[in-house]
Amino acid sequence: MKGHFGGRKTSRRELLTKGAGAAAGIAGAALLRSPVLAPRGLAVPRLRPAKAAAAGTLRKFPGATVNAVFISGEHDDTLLRDQISDVKQTLGINLTVTDLGADAMHDKITQGLRSGHSPYEVSTIVGFWLAETVGPGYFEPLEKYLKDPELTPADFDFEDFVPKHLDYISYWNLAEHRNGRPGQLFLLPGPHSDAHMVTYRKDLFDKYGVSAPPKTWDEYVQVAKKLHHPGDGVYGTAFVGKLDPSIALSEWANRLVSMGGRMFTGSLKDKTVVPHLDSPESVAAVENLVELADYAPPGVTGYALTEVADAMAAGKVGITMLWVTVSGRAWAPKLSKVADKVEAAVPPGNGVTIRGGWGMGIPKDVKNKEAAWAVIRYYSTKEADKARVMNYGTAAVRRSTFKDADVVKRYPYYPTFGKLLETATPYPSLPFPESWEMVLEPAKYWNLAVTKQLKPKEACGKAQDAVRLVLKKGGWNKSA
């Protein structure tokens, strides 16, 4: 099978972010992540034929139709969309690739699963949708497809996937209502993994006497203060201050877990879950964001991930913490004015960051399951993973990509990212079917704190009440 992922490149439109508020009443909330622009003119090696495919032993599916859906703005879909004609030629499949905003994608997938009429043979799922989509048994187990030599070539190398990302996104234990192993394989990792990383301007560190990246969040504020020189067109930092899922997922949650805080205690099994969004660690996380606003560009309370990443790439800020998939543009010479001046570091605190990323699976109710697997397998090879990273700066899902000399040369932060991915943890509400709601509800109050409409402690109290109500409605706290 050819699979020429390194061939033709097309200029993709800049995708608009779409609201994520439908799931929990947040009007105008933006995408989970933001658009990543593709560096132009990158040369990626063409794929080598798989051994089984070269021998003609892999099954083809003439005339079969497969519809695949991906999140907008992260280039998860771009490479596969460019290969539609190759999929037709090598697999016989009529492939349609769709990208949607987080709210629309969530609703279409979940409504289809519940009705037994899934619109997408290949459905991509993010971690905090697992309990709601994979947990009830709506997805097809994948082991039989993986082990079938007519469906998966001998050199596919499943063991090459990052083990921690497999446990995060691919395996689900139906009996114990949790992700990870022991469990069944329901999704293949991809099109990208993710964790959070600090990006900083080494030239500004040297200029203003900052000796090393901050080790605590208090130090992070002090570093931002030292780098803050608006008169020279440089601000200390930027962060997601907008009413947006990432003010919870990226900003608040990373600070919480890296300070040793916990969003919940108790047991899902015993229905004794207690939220702790008003804990000292949670209050400190919100206070940190409020402090940083003084050393950020005007209008930071309207920043989503796109604006933060663009500010760093434009040379307007000294230090940021972002998803790696979004951070990559700062290193891309075609996209960044400071590509030769940035370096990477582990975020402050205990070194633990929030994990992200997607998995690709097959709903049980679709007809062309083997053809759907063929598309997933086609898009999950080592060559495809490397091509996505090299072309779009996305976050790899295979260990071989992290070690690849071409990747490390182009993206020097990859060794740091690899370490972060080993210790990253999911957003704490992941085991709950209401997980997405418990991202969106707190986001309201973190935004109100950053815009100084609420004091940090008051915002945490309101977020606590909101999440407690979600838990009560879900039956996760019998005494609530």
Q: What are the CA-CA distances from residue 112 to residues 18, 177, 235 (Å)?
A: 20, 21, 46
With both helix axes pointing from N to C terminus, report the angle between 217-227 and 280-292 in degrees, rounded to the nearest 10: 0
**Strand pairing class (356-361; 122-126):** antiparallel
Contact 466, 275 (CB under 8 A): no
- Give the C-alpha separation, 381 to 375, whole Å: 11
- Give the C-alpha separation, 223 to 205, whole Å: 9
**Strand pairing class (94-100; 122-126):** unpaired
Task: Indicate the burial class of 108 (C-beta count within 10 angstroms; 0-12, 13-18, 19 or more).
Answer: middle
- Give the C-alpha separation, 83 to 6, whole Å: 10
What residues contact residue 212 under an 8 Å CB cut-off, 6+ apart?
Answer: none
Contact 332, 167 (CB under 8 A): no
- Give the C-alpha separation, 21 to 283, whole Å: 24
What integer pLDDT is reported at residue 95 of this predicted model? Answer: 97
- Give the C-alpha separation, 344 to 266, whole Å: 36
In the sheet with 171-173, reading across from the earlier edge strand, the strands are 178-179, 171-173, 184-185
What integer pLDDT is reported at residue 20 of this predicted model? Answer: 31
Q: What average pLDDT values come out for the chain (480 residues) when binned by 10 residues? A: 43 27 28 32 39 62 97 87 95 96 91 97 94 95 97 96 94 91 96 95 97 97 98 97 93 97 92 96 98 97 93 97 87 87 94 93 97 97 93 89 93 88 89 91 98 98 97 86
What integer pLDDT is reported at residue 56 of this predicted model? Answer: 56
Task: Indicate the burial class of 387 (C-beta count within 10 angstroms; 0-12, 13-18, 19 or more).
Answer: buried
- Give the C-alpha separation, 435 to 123, whole Å: 18
What integer pLDDT is reported at residue 436 of this predicted model? Answer: 87
Polymer length of the chain: 480
Beta bridge partners of 70: 99
State the CB neighbour count (10 A cutoff) for residue 468.
18
The tokens describing 369, both together, are 């399951």
- Amino acid code (one letter) for 95: L
- Give the C-alpha separation, 32 to 17, whole Å: 9
What integer pLDDT is reported at residue 480 of this predicted model? Answer: 62
Contact 177, 431 (CB under 8 A): yes
Contact 169, 359 (CB under 8 A): yes
